[in-house]
Chain A
Amino acid sequence: MNVNASAQDAETRMASLVNDWADDKEAFRVPWGKAMMWIFLVSDTFIFGSFLIGYMTVRMSSTEPWPLASEVFALTIFGVELPLILIAIMTFILISSSGTMAMAVNYGYRRERKKTAMLMLLTAVLGASFVGMQAFEWTKLIVEEGIRPWGNPLGAAQFGATFFMITGFHGLHVSAGVIYLLVVAIRVLKGRYEQQGKYEIVEIAGLYWHFVDLVWVFIFALFYLW
């Protein structure tokens, strides 16, 4: 950061040079916000980890049958039953949004304000559509299959409980991320980061977004492929 050597005579300059060699002000050469986001994400990992381990425990100790993922998550489109089609689309969208986010970060560091903001808005739209499809999926499970948090006509009651809790918690993360991205995108567009060139804020938002995607990969594997 700012190591000020101004207005110091030669002797203290020498001393400060020595100090700088011994200096260890920062453990990581990254801005504070980025370091904090990393630490937050580690903490959040433990939240999702606890949720998912709880889910695995509940599922493995369940004595009642667990609904078959390929059937309960299937959609019938034009009379053809397609297993996991919705979730495939949702996952594809979320992973794509990580791509657009990465591009936004790239353009941010190139100081291309408009492109950055547009790509962030696109990311937010993809995230919002993910949440929308999740709402559609929940509706189908609740209305058509009759699955509730406290019960499940297809077998173990814990299926509904864990599914709604964990995908809901993840959905909250995505929704919060969409809001976060919108706020940052608007600020980018207004040129708020222009003067000091603090485009790492875009990258920090990106870190959060990639994390939410990464968590989704685990949820996807453990709920839909198990």
Chain B
Amino acid sequence: MDHVAIADERGLELHEPASFITRYIWSQDHKVIAVQYGITAILVGLVALALSAMMRLQLAFPNSFSFIAPGDYYQFITMHGMIMIVYLLTALLLGGFGNYLIPLMIGARDMVFPYLNMLSYWVYLLSVIVLMASFFVSGGPTGAGWTLYPPQAISHGTPGADGGIILMLVSLAIFIVAFTMGGLNYVTTILQARTRGMTLMRLPLSVWGIFIATVLGLLAFPALFVSAVMMLLDHIAGTSFFMPALLSEGELTGHSGGSPILFQHLFWFFGHPEVYIVALPAFGIVSDLISTHARRNIFGYRMMVWAILAIGVLSFVVWAHHMYVSGMHPYFGFFFATTTLIIAVPTAIKVYNWVLTLWRGNIRLTVPMLFAIGFIFSFINGGLTGLYLGNVVVDLPLSDTYFVVGHFHMVMGVSPILVIFGAIYHWFPKITGRMLNDTLGKVHFWLTFLGTYAIYLPMHYLGFLGVPRRYYAMGDTEFIPESAQSLNVDITIAALVVAVVQLVFLVNLFWSLRYGKPAGGNPWDATTLEWQTPDTPPRHGNWGQELPTVYRWAYDYSVPGQEKDFIPQTVPPTEEESQEGTKP
């Protein structure tokens, strides 16, 4: 707990770490920690990608693969979902982009407590190691589905019910500790360590999105923590929080009186805000990408900020729309359907504002811009199907079908991932000093974007047919026509193509690291602070001796009467501007 105010202490010598280990491994520099988070998250995400490829192979060609038993299939599903949502998306967007962008965008030297920030990464790595260890314990990882519903998650007969589920719950608890350490830092840094002139209403929307998402995380992860502790006790200490009296394999389990629905409430009280923990940073980042590459100020900045806040608040009162078929009181469904549809309003405001920012913009179809526009498509698509599922009567027949799979992959799989790719193409020049290859980037974009549509659009149709999700193989089922099976083959081919295309991205990363075109300080002609650093990549302490001063909002693009089509936030107002009064 050291209170050295490194963000604004002048004349204080900046200690640049000397050795390789203190600089790149036990580093307290937010930029290094961000890259560490990013690399770890991408590596663990590749594991999840491989798992999804195996699932697709099994679905397209049932009974052809001896190494995929039904139990394995459930383990793949579970691990794929949990890794992608928590260990990839949450960690990459908040631990990765949050760490990198917050201090640079608000003009701070680092997070307020760098040591805690470093711990956050190492504890996150520990949680990943514990999770990966579950692949190697007897019985393998848990196969309970990513929602880990009891009783079946901890009942005998579910894959990984002995060791896998314990490691999963322990790993989640550790992850929450890591997230809390990082999240406290992000929130405090944004609130307390902004540079001169950086008022809250001048923050770039990326920071707003990350900020509110972190607040959601700090309030939602406790529910997951509590449910993990209670389920661990049910499993290890024989308590009955979630376990009713059950007959298992002809014998009473010894549990009695627990409520499985209680788990679902706790889980989704975390699980729904989690959707927005992933979505809000993506919303913020994509706003900046669109504004920068369309050379136009973001449309309705204040509305965008209020929409982020409104979504954040509303996301805590919609959780039970995941539970319409759980057996909870039907009147709850009415309440939660209403709030769910209300949340569509601020979301729609954001979509309109993105489109209106593009309207008559000087659009540069750079790779980040392509990904940003791709996001608008996939997000509208996933958002609209969300309206179907938010209504109780429509949800009931569609629940647990491939329609749901298509919906949530579109809205919280493809959409944030497209933004993440766009963001990597956008900020890679700042992180490394070199541009990513444009041609490879465009190949990557088009195949990924069209490929994901080829995967998930047909799933909506499968859902309307009533094909249930989470089935290992359909077998001969009366109501599922032959065509569904051939569609499954097509989906699998598309999925494998998309999976392989990601290699192009990885090759691009490594190739450009070495041979990429030197980027210079501000290759995109962007206004925000991180592009105004004295060095690229920014050195330890980010700003040299003098912290930047901010004079304007982050979106002064194509201001009439100006020589250049962008004015960085650090440029003082001109005579005319100071007479009129600057923007917010």
Contacts and interface: CB of A to CB of B under 8 A. Distances in A.
A87 interface: no
Interface string A22-66: 111111101111011001101110110111001001100111100
B197 A22 contact: yes
Contact of B262 (A30, A54, A161): A54
B210 interface: no
Instruction: With a 10 A CB-CB cut-off, give which of B1, B8, B227, B230 has the most chain A CB atoms.
Output: B1
B230 A54 contact: yes
Contacts of B218: 39, 42-43, 46
B415 to A, nearest CB: 27
A19 interface: yes
A31 B193 CA distance: 10
Given A19-B549, A42-B218, A46-B222, A27 B200 contact: yes
B10 interface: yes
B241 interface: yes
A71 interface: no
Nearest to B226: A50
Contact of B193 (A20, A25, A158, A160): A25
B185 to A, nearest CB: 8
Contact of A161 (B180, B195, B221, B239): B239
Given A19-B549, A42-B219, A46-B219, A198 B3 contact: yes
A184 to B, nearest CB: 9
Interface in B1-23: 1, 3, 5, 8-10
A150 B237 CA distance: 7
Contacts of A64: 257
A161 B240 contact: yes
A149 B237 contact: yes
B8 A2 contact: yes
A1 interface: yes
Interface string B209-222: 00000000011111
Contacts of B226: 47, 50-51, 54
Nearest to A63: B257
Contacts of B227: 50
Given A36-B112, A158-B257, A149 B1 contact: no
A204 interface: yes
Contacts of B500: none
Interface string B117-149: 000000000000000000000000000000000
Report, as a range, how many residues of chain B touch the other chain: 35 or more
A62 to B, nearest CB: 6
Interface string B174-196: 00000010011101100111111
Contact of B238 (A3, A30, A42, A149): A149
B199 A57 contact: no
Given A50-B269, A51-B226, A149-B233, A40 B184 contact: yes
Interface in B224-278: 225-227, 229-230, 233, 237-241, 254, 256-259, 262, 265-266, 269
A23 B199 CA distance: 6
Contacts of B330: none
Contacts of B157: none
Contacts of B183: 43
Nearest to B179: A43
Contacts of A27: 191-192, 200
A189 interface: no
Interface string A136-177: 000000000000011000001110111001000100000000
B198 A24 contact: yes
A61 B1 CA distance: 44
Contacts of A225: none
A201 B1 contact: yes
A157 B192 contact: no
A166 B269 CA distance: 20
A58 B258 contact: yes
Nearest to B237: A149
Contacts of A10: none
A219 to B, nearest CB: 14
Nearest to A200: B3
Contacts of A57: 259, 262, 265
A63 B193 CA distance: 53
Contacts of B188: 32, 35-36, 39
Contacts of A196: 3
B1 A25 contact: no
Given A27-B191, A36-B112, A43-B219, A54 B266 contact: yes
B113 A36 contact: yes
B572 interface: yes
A76 interface: no
A16 B572 CA distance: 11
B222 A31 contact: no
Contacts of A198: 3
A24 B241 contact: no
A77 interface: no
A4 interface: yes
B42 interface: no
Contacts of A32: 3, 5, 112-113, 188, 192-193
16 contacts: A3-B196, A23-B197, A25-B8, A27-B192, A27-B200, A31-B3, A39-B184, A39-B188, A46-B223, A50-B222, A54-B262, A58-B259, A150-B239, A157-B256, A162-B241, A169-B229
Given A1-B5, A39-B218, A149-B237, 18 more contacts: A15-B572, A23-B197, A24-B198, A25-B8, A25-B195, A28-B191, A32-B5, A42-B219, A43-B180, A44-B222, A46-B222, A47-B225, A49-B222, A54-B262, A58-B257, A58-B259, A158-B258, A165-B233
Interface of A: 1-4, 15-16, 19-20, 22-28, 30-33, 35-36, 39-40, 42-44, 46-47, 49-51, 54, 57-58, 61-64, 149-150, 156-158, 160-162, 165, 169, 196, 198, 200-201, 204
Interface of B: 1, 3, 5, 8-10, 112-113, 180, 183-185, 187-188, 191-200, 218-223, 225-227, 229-230, 233, 237-241, 254, 256-259, 262, 265-266, 269, 549, 551, 572
A-B complex: 8 closest residue pairs judged by Cβ atoms = A150-B238, A24-B199, A161-B239, A46-B222, A50-B226, A47-B222, A43-B218, A27-B191
